[in-house]
A = this chain, B = another copy of it.
């Protein structure tokens, strides 16, 4: 098993490195390697991945005993939902691109229609695959499936890399353009430089449909990058689950459901934050993308963050304290989904935290007493603090046993032996049968037979007794929880996590749709130099956006299991 993982990992690594080298070459040497070359490479990879997915859907998964087990933790509904949502936006994006290219067919090559078509096909098939098979623990053709999955992961990573570098290159061109415009005091007629760069060669005819395609392309672009990353994480979990055998009593018998009842302050506070945030964002966008962004808009933007971030941090700290007060059992079972969640949370936070530290050093070294600078300084410090406290809160919450399981078990009527029996269908039978043999035997023979029987019997008896003890303890705990003083803790946890969900959504929306004050305020840019700060933002910003989105998933999980 290890060998298969190693080889498929090496395959993915080589593909990713080759692709990264291609993309970097395209960025730094436009002449030798063009965007078309990169697209050809990516299309080959997409077609290969597509072939494997189709083979899996029609061949591997229909083999007998191919999928004996399902990992109940993998692919929760909101992950699969976001795959569908982002996938459909990405398809729309490609449709717009095809339409745009079709209008300007006279000055564009036909290839610019072919590539998006392959992309649409790839997105559709992959979304279908992930919707139906994200929980599979595949038991046949291990190594071939591993390689196929790793190839698909590598393709998605490269698509993300291309989208991110392209996106930030736009940002760079855009900002340079604006400077030029500012100098000449002209208007800003183009809002999307990638397209406008082309319009110097072939202008978009002044029809509504062409403008719609342009605007839609700009608006939908961020969803594509998120789609690639989400697919990567789901595919990774499937890859981890290959060949895994899940014993039956690990499967939780009741799924916690998403219920809104009982929470008031969290949604209210969160909705207020979202509404104010949208207002701030729109004012920022109107002012900052205009020809002359002034300091006031930055002051407003940072003030909003400085009010919101401490609230979020305090919420997360209170949540962590409540987690510590509540003496729930920790869930220590193997769970690739959760391990990945934790790694992604910590890894994605690094982008934001790194950027903040760079800002802090830049401000402290220049002039921390200026109003705007002190605002940025406190914003950066608070952001680090917020990221860390929120991570601790989410990771803590993910490792707790879901509460619902205990309360629901109480409602089933016969909480004790009955629950155990239904939980352990296979093992219980063997345990009772060996017990029966045991009592039928004459006491003289027992000495000889005991050796072999005990080996199986006593283990299982111990397991079922432990399980019974735990079950009784759980049920009594749940009784205490529901009817006494502990109830406020659950409610507080739900309020806090709901509030944090809404806050993270607004903090996700703002950078996704184009508010990049860290680039536009010009402070760090002048301190580190244009290209260095650009590289730092290029690394940190996409990770920060992904962090917010991923936090929302983690917080929803905490909300449901609280």
Q: Which residues of B are found within 8 Å of A262, using beta-carbon distances? A: none
The CA of A551 and the CA of B354, in the complex, are separated in Å by 31
Chain A 172-187, CB-CB to B under 8 Å as 1, else 0, gives 0000000000000000
Given contacts A14-B384, A384-B14, A443-B443, contact A527 B357 (CB under 8 A): no
A353 sits at the interface (CB 8 A): yes
Assess the A527–B29 pair: CB atoms within 8 A. yes
User: Is there an interface contact between A366 and B17, defined as CB atoms closer than 8 Å?
Assistant: no
Which residues of chain B are near A6, meaning CB under 8 Å? 392, 395
Query: Could you tell me the distance in whole angstroms from the C-beta of A33 to the nearest C-beta in chain B?
Result: 5
- The answer to whether A24 and B527 touch (CB under 8 A), given A17-B357, A353-B17, is no
Q: A13 touching B353 by the CB < 8 A rule?
A: yes
Question: What CA separation (Å) do A365 and B24 show in the bound complex?
Answer: 13
- Looking at chain A's contact residues, the main secondary structure is helix
- B residues within 8 A CB of A392? 6, 10
CB distance from A321 to the nearest CB of B (A): 13
A528 touches B358 (CB 8 A): no
For the complex, what is the distance from the CA of A562 to the CA of B24, rounded to whole Å?
43
Q: Which of A8-37 contact B (CB under 8 A)?
A: 10, 13-14, 17-18, 20-22, 24-25, 28-29, 32-33
* In the complex, A454 has a CB within 8 A of chain B: yes
- Place the interface of chain A in its size category: 35 or more
Contact, CB under 8 Å: A366 / B24: no
CB proximity of A528 to chain B, nearest CB, Å = 5
Give A500-530 interface residues, CB cut-off 8 Å to B: 527-529
B-chain residues with CB within 8 Å of residue A361 when the two chains form the complex: 18, 21-22, 24-25, 33
In the complex, whether A350 has a CB less than 8 A from a CB of chain B is yes
State the number of copies, please: 2
Cα distance A357–B21 in the bound complex, in angstroms: 6
Q: Does the CB pair A17–B529 fall under 8 Å?
A: no
Q: Contacts A29-B528, A443-B443, A529-B29 given: A358-B21 contact, CB under 8 Å? A: yes
> Closest residue to A362 on the B side, CB-wise?
B25
CA distance A168 to B454 in the complex (A): 67
Across-interface contacts of A459 in B (CB, < 8 A): 458-459
Partner-B contacts on A (CB < 8 A): 2, 6, 10, 13-14, 17-18, 20-22, 24-25, 28-29, 32-33, 350, 353-354, 357-358, 360-362, 365-366, 384, 388, 392, 395, 399, 443-444, 446, 451, 454-455, 458-459, 461-462, 527-529, 531-532
Known: A21-B360, A443-B443. 4 other contacts (CB 8 A): A6-B392, A22-B361, A33-B361, A458-B458
Interface pairs (11), CB distance under 8 Å? A18-B360, A20-B357, A21-B357, A21-B358, A22-B361, A28-B528, A29-B528, A446-B446, A451-B461, A454-B454, A454-B458
